Every structure is written in structure tokens, then in C-alpha cells.
Structure 1
Amino acid sequence: MKAASKAILILFILLALPMGKKLLAQSCQGTVPHYTINMTGKADSVWSSTSVARNGRCCGLSSSYRCIHFTVTLDANAMGISIVVSGTSTGYTFESSCGSSTAVGDTLCLTGGGTHELTICRSGTSSNQTYTVRSIKKPTVYAGADTTICSAANSVHLNGTVASNIESYQWTGQGGSFIGSTTSLNPVYIPTLTEIAAGSTYLVLSGTDYTGCTTVRDTMRVTIYSAPLPIISGPTQVCEYAINQAYSVTASTGHSYDWHLVGGRITSGQGTNSVNVTWDTAGPGYIYMVQTDTNGCQGVGAINTLSRFDFNAGPITTATIGPNAISSDSDAYTNGFGFVITNNCGGNKGIDLVVPGSIFNMGKLCMTYSWQRDENQATFFTRGGLTFRVAGGMLEIGMRISDGAGGYTDVGPLSTGYTLPADDVHRYFTFCYDSASGMARVMVHDSLVWSYNGTPGRELYWTGAGDATIGTLMDGSCSGNTLIDWSNISIPISVVAKPDASISGPTPVCQHKQATYTTVGNSKYSYSWSANGGTIVSGQGNDTVTVLWTTSGNRNLYLTQTDTVTGCDSTATLSVVVNAAPNAAITGPDTICSGVQNLFTAPNLGGVTYLWSSATGSFAGGTANDSAQITFTQYGFHTVSLKITNNTTGCDSTVTLTLFTDSIPMADISGDNPVCEDNAITSYQTVNNAKYTYLWSATNGTIASGQGTNAITATWPTPGAGSVRVQVTKQPGSCVNQDTMAVTIYAKPITGAIQH
């Protein structure tokens, strides 16, 4: 039979018979060697026959063919089968269910387990040979367990595994970038900003076995936690030495907070969402904070931020706050933590992140860079004359500052004196300049390493400065180390100078005396004075005051001086010793009579000097004793003054007594004289005045009437010499005058008897 006819006949027989084991059993002669092989539970196993010769025919082949038959039950995890024949086997094939042929040594790809009928038939004689049947296990790949990452540490470090029968494999992502080959098992995947915003992504590891039968895949799901984006709130202008200034971010349960400060110190709250700050002297103030959530994700927050780059996802020109960068070096890329350079490294290599310069046109700036030293040089920031850099392992700063006349003055670049340790550790490097105070500071972490005291009111000079560049030079050594983790540029907090309050004036002083005190005058200042033990007599609200010290002892004069522009104030206290004044007092009459000498006395004190004075009185016995005899002759009010001076302190006190000097009343008597004894009643009188009281008396006579008045009558019983006397007392001073009038008393004539 011709070969073509034979093939048609076989095909007809195959089509006419049922498929499967029954068909094959019917088509193999009984003389064909037959083996039943059970490989369930043994997806990757090998079975070998004894040495055997093929015999008989299968599948309707001609009598010249000699066959061998295998009934093989495969495990569900098998994906193929192969047969190897010992000795010469060139041109050998095996058929599955009398169907398609597979070369001996090759793999017949299958789907799943089950029973398979396999035959090997060749024409001609057959010698004894060994037949080896191999079950080929489905290949496996493992992308790894589902994982979580933080957007601030935006990298997935892959560590896939594949079965030994995998010949090729590859990772695929969702648009992010791979560091390392996607055909390696452990590249690093950097998710995109879109994936970060979505909060998750997935990665697929695909593998193809060496037979080419199948490609398998495994998926790793990645949950991306968003890093905190803290925004610090608090005062942006404070007075120097201000205490308990509160700064805070929104509180989140379980989060930790690491605060950092320039120009002050944290007095309470470190580790919490709110801190109290005491600011130092005037100059640049700056506060930033690293917040860590319960997933270990970290975010940086600052106050008054103009520009921040976190470099956690590509492209690295994307800013977290502020405008995106215009361009960057093509060899700089993110590793999820910051930017790195691993290609074309060299002495002039850097990130070259060009940022629009107009956003930095501020008279004052603060900037921080989280940087890991990779080599001995790095340029953090360059714009115009401002350069913040590391050169030769030394931290340097250069500034261009307005000269106040339209030009500028260059400061540096200068070495800060800080040498970077060669330890490849991330540190925070901060530069701040404040135009109000003209001061600059450079910090490493929280330690001050350099300061500059310039002219207050001078701003950073930006004319013609153009765009800014971050990382012009990073001197990458292709180590793969992260260079800059993040950068932040802010407007600093203004720590404003307080007025320099001081008081000048006399101390010690004397009680009951006035003294003048002054402070530095300034038209923008207001002044509030107070005195402990004294009274502000004049000048309140001005830079000069007069104080009357009323209480002796250790006293204080207080001044609060306020800058009306900034609201900052300062206080000054002057300790004043107020020496007690002597206790000056005058004891003596306050109403006296003209021409009458009066005694005035003072306290008998030791160690003092007395000085009496009166403009209208006459002293008898001196004016330097503790008493004085004084006579006043003029009617009216007069004064007596006494000054007592302490011989040690020189303090004195003066007391004045006002007294009234009344005139002596008139007491002139007029009346009958001479008179006759036993004559009729005689009359006598003096000046009549309602302020006067009168007391009359008579010698050798008797007051008949009018006692107590200015006019009386008297009788004279005995001849001879007599008198009438009046004492006149004037009220209210009880001034007394008296007068005596002699009276001649004639005897009555003796008349004899009348003779008639």
C-alpha cells in the first residue's frame, strides 16, 4: 500500500472510532507492551520501564510497525509530559491518543491532569530499550506578600521567587519606574504620583517555563499610605525673649512629632502636636517639624513655606509646595526617599533642579535641606549672590545684601567652621537671614554653627538674580546613596528687637523731695512710669519724669517702654534708696499778742541741725537750737519756719507754723477826778469794744456798778489818794492791757453849826 493511502486509512479509522483509552485499547494489538503509570500526587516525577522491545501494532499502522503503549494518569498540577528512550532515538516520536506527534525528548503541553494514552511506534525490528516518562509540573512564580509603603518612603523593594523550571520572568507595574532590571527578581519599584494619590497599586511577576508550554503570573498588591502633610500655625512675628509662644499642627492619634527650631528653644510639648517656644534675641526665627504616623510614614511641615520638594516620586521636578521646577539633570532620579545619581557621576554632577526665582524675591529667607553626605562637596542653593554649600567637607555660606543705597554688599562665601563628619548620615542643614535685624544663622540639626550680625533693615539683594538652582553640585560617586531627601524654603518668623529700656537718675534720694529720671527717647516709643513709694509729679508718657518720693526705705521706679510700630515692649527697674526726712514739728501758740515774747519748740533729735526763721519775728537767744523765743509786733498773720537737716544723709525737712498776732487792746481810763469823799457816785470808762472783756478794781474806793463793762461807777468813802484800775482782755487771743487812773479824794469840808 502506498504511504498516502496508508495515511488516509489510518485517519479514517481514527475518525470512525471513539477517542480516548477505549479507542487506543481497541487499536493496539494484544502483543503491544502496555504500562499503566499513576503519577497523581507527583506532578514533578519520573517513571522508567524495564528494558523492553516494542511489539505489535497500534493506531491501525501497518504490520511493519512495532509499538509500545503507556497509560499515564497525571496530577492536576502537571502541565506536560515527555518521554525519553535509551540508546539511539533519533526520529522517535510519541503520539497522544493516536493523534498529534511529539518528538521524543520534547514536552507535550497539556492542560491539567487526567489520564493520557501515549504510544511510540516505529517500523522495523525493535531491540530492548528503556523508556522514561517524565511528568512536568506547572511552573510557579511568587511576587511576594501584599505589602504597604509610605508615600514619603515611596519604594517597593521586590524579592520575587520562581520555580526552577521557569526559564524567563519579568516584572510589570502600573506606570511607575523600576530601579534595576525588570527581568531580575529583586528590582525596586517607584510608584507614580497617580498611584500615590490612589492609595494603592499592584505589581505582576510573569514567568515562562523552559518548555514554553505556559506563562504564569502572580500579583503583589501594594497599599500606599499618604505621608502626613502638617501645616504649622502660630505667630509669625514675635518679640525677642517672648515666652510661651504656641505653635501647633492638627493632632492625630498615635502620631509623634519631632520639632526643630532656629532662634529660640522649645520649653514644653516636644513630641506632641503643640509646643511652647521661648524666643531668643532679635533675628531670624524658623520652626519646622517631622511628623510620623502610626504606619511609620513621615512628613515635614514648616511655617510660611514658599517651596518644598520631597523627591518621593517622579518626576523629581514636581514640588510638594510651591511652583514645580523648570528642569533637572537627566541622570537624577528618585529612589522613593530622595534623589540619587548613579550615571555619569563626577565632580560637576548635581541634580540641577531649576526653580522659578521670583518666588524667592524676599528680603529674608530660611531654608533646610535633609542631606546625606556622599562626597566632600554639595551645593544646596544658588541664586544671585546667595550660596549655601559644602566645599571640601566644610559648610559654607555666601550672601548678597542690600547696602541701603541701591547697591549691594557681598558677604562671603565664608566658612561656617563646621566640618561634616565622614559618616554618610542624613542631617538637617539650615540657613536663615532676617532683614529686620540684619542677622543670619546656620544650623546643623538644632545646633548653631555660625551667626552673622549685620546692619538692621538690610534685605537680601535679588536684582538680576534670575532662577534658583537646588543641587547644582552634588559630587555623586554613583554610590546609589540618597543625596537630598527633602528641601524646604520659608519666610522666617520675625523675632523683633524690644526697646532697650533703661532708667538714669539719682539714688539715693531724700524723702519728700523730687527727683528727675530719664530714659532713651525715640519718637516711636511710648512710656509708662510708676513708682513704689513715690508719685509721678510730671512727665508721665514721656522719656523724662519727675518723682516725689513720699515713703522712705528701699523703693523702685518702673518703666514700661513700648515700640508702637511692633508692639514689643521692655521694662526697666531702678532701685532707689529713699532716706527718711527728719521729723520736723513746731510746738507753740498759733495766736499771740503783739509785742509779747513766745516760746516755740521742736523735737529734740540727735545728729541734726536746726534752723529757725521768720520774716517778721524777732528772735531772742538764737535760731540754731531746738527751741526759739520770738516776738511779733505787727498785727496780722505771721509764719515761723523750722528746717531740720540730718547731718549724715543731708536730708532735711521744713515745717512752717502760721500764727496770728493780735494787737494789744486799748485800756485808757477817763472819768471823774478829783472827787470828794462820800460824794455822789463817780463815773469811769474806757474804750468800748465787743471783743473786749473788762475787769475793774478801785483802791480806797468801791465799784458801785458796771463791772465787766467798759464803764463803771465808784464811790470813795475815805479822803486821800485813790485809784481806779481796768484790765482789758481782747478775744480771741486773750491779749491783755490795763490802765490805772489815780484819783484824788478830797475830804468834805467841815461845816460848823450855823449860828443864828
Structure 2
Amino acid sequence: VTGGTIQGSNTNNSINVLWNAAGTGSVNVTQTSAFGCDSAMSKTVTIMPTPAPVMSGPDSTCSNKIYTYSVPAVIGNSYNWIVTGGSFVGSNTASTVRVQWGSMGVGLISIIQTSAFGCDSTIGKVVTIMPTPAPVITGLDSVCEFKSNFYTVPLISGITYDWVVSGGTVIGSTNTNQIQVLWADAGIGVVSIKETSTFGCDSIINLNVKIMPTPQPVISGPDSVCSNRIYTYNVTTPFGYANIWSVSGGQILGANNLNSVTVKWGGFSPGNVFVTQSSASGCDSTVSYYVEILPTPDPVVSGSSPVCQYKTYEYSVITTPNHTYHWSVNGGVIVSNPDSSVIFVRWTSPGNATVTVNEVSEFGCDSALTTPILVNPTPTPFIVGPDSTCETKVYSYLVTAISGHSYQWTVSNGTIIGSPNGSTVQVKWGTAGIGRLNIRQISGFGCDSNVNIDITIMPMPKPVIAGPLATCETKTYNYSTPMVAGHSYTWFVTGGTIMGPDSNNTVNVKWNVAGGGAINVLETSEFGCGTIASNNITIQPTPVPVIGGPDSICWKNISTYYAGKVNMMKSWNIVGGRIIGPSVLDSVKVTWDSIPVGIVELKLTNAFGCDSTVQKFVNLLRFPQLIISGPSVMCLSHEDYFYTDGYANTVYTWTAPGGVFTNPSTQNITSIRYDMPGKYKIHLDYKAGNGCAGFADKAVQVFGFPKPQINGRVKACAYSDGNLNDENTYSVKKTTADSLVYTWKVSNPASYIQTSNNAINVDWGGPGRYRIAIYQVNPMTGCQDSSEFFVDVDSLPHPKIDPSSMMGCAPLTVTFSESTGNPNYICNWHFDNGNAMNKASVTRTFANIGNNNVKLVVTNEYGCVDSTTMIVPLYARPKASFDILDPDPIYTTDTVHFKNTSTGAVDYFWDLDMGDYSYNTDTMKQYPDPGKYKVWLWAYNASGCADSVSKIVDIRVKPWIYVPNAFTPNGDGLNDVFGVKSKYIESFDLMLYNRWGEIIYKTQDINFEWDATYLSKEVPSGVYVYVIFGRDYYGKSVYLKGDVNVLR
């Protein structure tokens, strides 16, 4: 060979060649047969470079620690690492590897580096593995805040210790195998120790410690109390907590293990309240509360008992300086200052009563003492009887009779009739004025009472009847008595009848048949005192006249009426006629005038002066004298009316030679038309129902005259004043007789202007049918005629706008309609922001704040126009907005604060999701569960306009995984398995490795329990590495790596 060296024999059919440096070499072989024939052959060899790795990395390590080893990386080379006494962490085919060395001893790491041409090289390194401490922390993993606990690891010679604590404070040195930790606020704390061997090998382990809340009770209640009084003290007790109370200087009344305690304090000395509060986790705390006990007064009441009702007595207590007093009574009334040490009481209710005094010291301590009082009843006489009487009358008075009581009556301006010592008495009162009645009633207990009443003694009325004592039968007379203000009167009679009211001071009496009678009056004063006055009456007989003669006679005829032969004075009187001759004889002659009914009246007077008048009614039959009424001048072919007075049962007969009757000619009124001009006579014959008859004539002159004809529109527009269509001219055609005079009339409510003698212009009022009348007169002949013309004025109503909204908040869309809905109307709309022509309904959106004007102009099919307007008020809306003051992320343990930043609003409504609402300006809320919550804010201004805004609140949670660092699978039922605790972890993968890097356990169940076995065999005590991969509640990757100690 060239470029290399044959290793071993070179005479065999194969050789081993150790090639030298990279480059070109050759192999030459000569082969010789048995016959001595040979042949040589050569082969060129390209010598590729062989890798020459140089390993970097420590050759002295600590057990169970990870170290890095490497060779220079060469492009195109591959690597294969091999280790004994340890295991690779990660890949073993890169230029760099990580090795976790196993237990103490010797290890070896080697590498085979192969070039791209297949050339390889192997190197190795011997590694000394030093022991690594494996500390195990002994101590509580669940503690109370603000309490101290000890934590220990085994003491090993040559080992140094370095403790670190989070969530608490180490008391003393941190460099021994034991520390004392004072834990801080509740939460999660960690005890961590780093043990370092003499070789520099160290190990760190952590113990997670759950710090439980320690109760922090605060006692509330009075700190200054009165001796021998009961008070209540309270402490806030969270759910699951327990309390134990104790006191000094007093006594607990009732239970001592509740949220509150009732204490009765003792005498004048200091006191204390103690409470020990324990949580459900066993954490407790004791606090004390100092109480100053002040002295309480001890009053003693002096005063009378028993007592009399309605009497006044004195009660008192000993006065102590700086003390205050307040009295109260039951069954009486304090009639002095109730805030003194001495009071006076008037007892009002009989029976058991009390007087109570409340004495208050200068320290505010009080004591109330109630003293029973026996109140004997005092008589309470009540006099029953009239307090207003009539003079000289006797009246009875009484009080309620009570056994064992005595009575003493006295009277002034009167006289007691009978005994004055009973429960009743009779009194005859004296002259009008004032009297007094008094009684003194004395009970069996000696309690007495005086009562008196004043009596008003009223005077008696003194009526006197005025009026005739001699009267005529069937005649009415007036009687009276003097009128006294306030008095009432009652009249009653015998032998007669009261005509009209009987309760005035005067009365009218109609006496009956002749004989005797009486009249009486009862006059009663306003005080009820009454007197009767009486008069006897003599009743004389009255004449009974009778008139003879006809009761029906013709007008202007003479008739005789007679009274007969009676010996009495006679007096005749006639109504509607005249007496011919004397009026005092037995008969009279009468001529009658032209009234329908006459009256004959006769008065007879007898010797006693009694008279009587009788009337006879006479029916006067009239004899008519009629005249014809009507025009004297008539127009040709024009009917006119003629009439005379109308009477019942009268026959009328009209004749009109040369004329034509246009109405019946047999009534008191008719109408006649003449068709030829000239002079005519109208004749009337008439006959009354009583047989009387007569006639009348009337001359007329007939002139030729044309009838006027009105020209103009038969339809017009309502309210035409100023209307666009004003063709409202009406006229009559002029004739050759220019001297004609025209008078126009138009029915209300139209008005008109006469533009010429024969024409007018009309301004129409409201809708309806109107009448135009014209009266045509020829002043030369006196002929006149008239004509009428009817105009239908269009019934276009005043238009009305029908809006979908009358007002609102910007922007506001409103639909406007013409309210009648008449399809023949032309509607033109006018807005501030533009017009809309010929639409019955339009829609507009308003954006300008304030009053927006709307106008509607309506035209009907006749061109009649009317309009109306309205205003649409538009109000501004507020601007709703709010800020979330808390920075992201926000967790379920946080309270979210919402700051209202709305403008232009006065009222607010929050919808905080989850059914929670608020009307406050700003608000807050804690969300117990993670998620996205939509929060709405509605803002309202004073006009009721609203705006709203919403935001999403993303409530998050803090995921965590707790992994213990040791367990004891010894079958004692305590800590026998390895598992983890977690919150808010969605996916989970765990792998456990032994010291050689083998996976001895893997799971995706976060609730796993590993019993320290592998392939159904128990694994030895030692440290095992766990690796956890997962994703939290939000899909974020979670990676944990650590050690767990198996302790058997």
C-alpha cells in the first residue's frame, strides 16, 4: 500500500490497512499461481478525513443532576452518544447532549462521530458521580396565618443548609437543618431548602404550604357600662367559625358560644370581655375588650298610699349631687316638675296605681324604681237634669246613687221641694235669670267631691190675640199676636178652618156655619217656655145670592138680569158691558160690548153686615166686522196674498173677477194672480158660527213687471275669503227699466259685497247649502218681485294632520297622514327640510333639536284650498358611555368597577348580566365564574330620551397545579399514593422517569393516583422525575417539571 500501513500479514487474500492522513493512497497485490505465473493489480484509494471529536463536559458530577456534554459540530457528521451510570435528557444524536447522572459511583459517556463519507471516530470520558443530597422536609403543609411553625430536614454531617420561605418570615437562622416560620396573610406559601454536600452537590426541594386564614375578631359593644346592668357584645363570625366567650367582672347570661354574648356586670370595678374565635380549619385567635363599670343609683321613694282619686300628694327621693331625676306615674298626673327629686301627683284613676322614678348618675347610669299606690275612688257626681228652665216651673235633678255614699244639695234663685239629702232633688226655679244647683257627694272612704251647675231661668211668653170676635160664616178673617224674635207660634181653632200656615204670629181663619167658635195660640220662646192665649168667636149667617137671566147673548144686544125679592141691600156690577139705569134694584138691563165673555156680578148684604157676592158669566156672540189686508198694487202674473181675521166656525167666500185664485178661496187667507194689467175689486163674504154675517171689498191696481233671474255658480268653496278660486259673483240680467232697485240677501254665515246695482260678490263661510235671494222693486209703480238661488258650498273640512308621533328624541322618524283619507284631495306637505307634493301620507326623519314645523295644504276637486300646521318638538339624546377601571386580566376574585362617563343624562340603568341591575351612577360587581359578560348601560335625560352602550367583561381564572414532593406508599392508609391537585386545567399529560431515564408511569387523567409500582412491582425508595404537559382554561400551554420522593 501507499498512504497507509498494512496491519498484520500482507500475504493473505485480505489485509487490514490503517490509512494515514487524508489524501490519495493505493493498494497493490501480486497474485502468483501454483505454476509460478503471476499477475499484479493496483487500486487507487481516496483517503477521506476521519472525525477527531474532542469532548467537552465535566468529569466530576453530582448524582441525579443534569449536565451538558458536547463535541464541535461538523456539517454533514452524525453523532451517537452512549452513557452508562446516567440517562440522556432529550436527544442523544446531536453534537450536544444533556445527561442526568444516576446514583453515586463512576459513569462513562462516549460518542461515535461519523462523517458524511461513513468515517467514524469514538471517544469516551470517565465521570466520577458524587452523591447529591436528597432532603425531605418535615413540617405542616396546612397552617394558620400569623402563626409560627417549625420545619426540619435530617441533620447530615458535612451538609450545608439554605432555607427560603415565601408567604412568611423565618424567625432566626436560615442555615440550620431546622427553621421557625411566622406565616403571613392567608394564601399559598412555600418552604424551600437547598442542601449542599461537601463535594458541592446540592438539591432544592419545595414544600407548598396552604396558609389558612386566622380569625381576626373585633368585639363591638359598650366599653363603659353601669353596674348590675345587662349588655350585649357582638363579634362578626364568618361561616364555619366558632366562638368561645368569657368575662371578668361580670357574669355571662345564656350561651357563650354564639355570635353575641349577654353580660350582666357586677359592682363598681373594671371588667373584660374575651372571645376566642376558631375557623373551620382549626385556626383561632383570642381578643379582649376592656369595660369600665360605673356605679348605678339606688333610689328610695317616700310618699302616701292609699290616696283619694282627684287629690294631690307629694312624693320624693333623697337628693344626690349631680344626679338627675325623672318621674312618671300610672293612674295619675304629675302637676309639678317631673325632673326634680320631689313631685306632686294628682291621682285620676281609682285602683292600683304606680309612681316611678328614674335616677341617673353623672356617669349616665340609671335606676328605675316603681312604687305601688292604692287610689281610692273619689265620687264623680254628674248632675242629670235641665240646665235651661222656665221661671216658676218645677224640675227634677239626680246623680247616680252609690251605696255607702251621702249627698248634700243646695240651690240659689230657687227652692228645694222635699229633702236635700238624697241622690235626687226637685227644684222650683224663681224669676228669670241665673240659678245654681250644687251637690257634695262623700264616699265611704271619706273622699268627697263638689259639683255645681248653673241654670238659665227663662221668662214665659205673654201672647195677646188681635182680631174680630164677631164674624160671618164662610168668611175669612186675620188674627195676630205681637211678633217676638225667636218665638214660635202654633194656632188652633174650633168652628173654623185655618187657611194657610198655622205657625206664624198671624193666621187666616175661615169660619164655618153660624154659631160659636174659638181661636187659640201657643207661643213658645226660643228656650222652650210656652203660654196659650184664647178668644171666643160669634159666627153670623152669610147671604146666598142667585142671579137670573140669559148666559148667552149676541154682541150689542140688551138683556135683563134679576136677583129676586130678598130683603137685603143689592149692588150690581158688569164686566164687558154697561148697566142701563140704577145698579141697586132687584134687576138691571145690560148692553154688551165686543169682548167674548161678559160678567154679571151681584153682592147681597144682610142686616148683620155679612155679605156675599156671586158672578154669572155671559157668552157674548160677536158680529164680525172684517177688513181685507193685502197689497193695493200688484205685478202682472205675480200672486199676492190677501187675508182677514180668522175665527172658528166662520165661513169665508172670496170672489175676484178677472183674477185667478192660486190658493183656496174659502178660508180667511187666499192668494190671487192677475194676468192682465188693470183695476180690479176683491170681494169677501163671511158668516160667523153664531149666525152673524158681513162682507168686505178691496180695490187693486195690476201693473206689468218681469221676474228677476239670478245667474252664478251653483257650487262654491267654503271659507272662500282669500281662496285661490274666488269666482263667487252672482247677478241678474238688466232690463230696459234701468230704474229698477235690487236688494240682495245671503244666508249666514256668508258675507257679500254689492259690486253694482244688479251684482254681488260672496265670501262663503263654512260648508253647507246657502240661499241667495234678490228683491226687485220698481219705484215708479211700486211693483216688486223676488227670486232665490241655492248654492252648495263644498264640505271640505279643515284639514287635520294625523302624525305617528307628536314628539320624540333625535333622530325621529314620523309618518304624517291627512286624517280624512279623501282620495279626491290633493295634499301638499311643507317641512323645514323640504317639501313633498301630492301625497296623502309622507314620512320624514327629523334631526334638528327643537321645534320642527310641518304644514299641510289641501285642495279638493273644486279647487278649494285650506291648510293646517303643527310643530314636532325634537329632544336631544344623552350619550351613554362608561369605563372599566380594572386593568386586564380580571379574575373571579376581583371586584370590577364601572365608571359612568355618560354626558347629558340624569338617570341611569345598569344591566350587569346574571340578572343583576343597578340604578346608581357608578357601580361595581364581582363575577364568581369565568366567562365573557355583556354589561349594558342605559342613560336617560330629563326629556326621557335614552342612549345605551355595552361592553364585554372578560373574567378569567388563575390555573394552578399542586404537586407534592413526597409520599409514603407503606399501606398505612396515609399518603399512600401520588397525585396532584389542580384548578382550571383542561388537558393533562404526566410522565414519571426513574433514575435511568425510563418512563415508569404516564397518564392523561388529572385525577390519577400512582401507587409507586412499575410493571406491577413496587419501585424502590428514591427520587423520581415528573414532567407535566397540559393546557389551561384558555388553551395556554402548561409545563411543569420536578421531583417526587418515594419514601418507604
- When normalised by structure 1's length, the TM-score is 0.35
Higher share in strand: 2
Structure number, greater radius of gyration: 2
Higher share in helix: 1
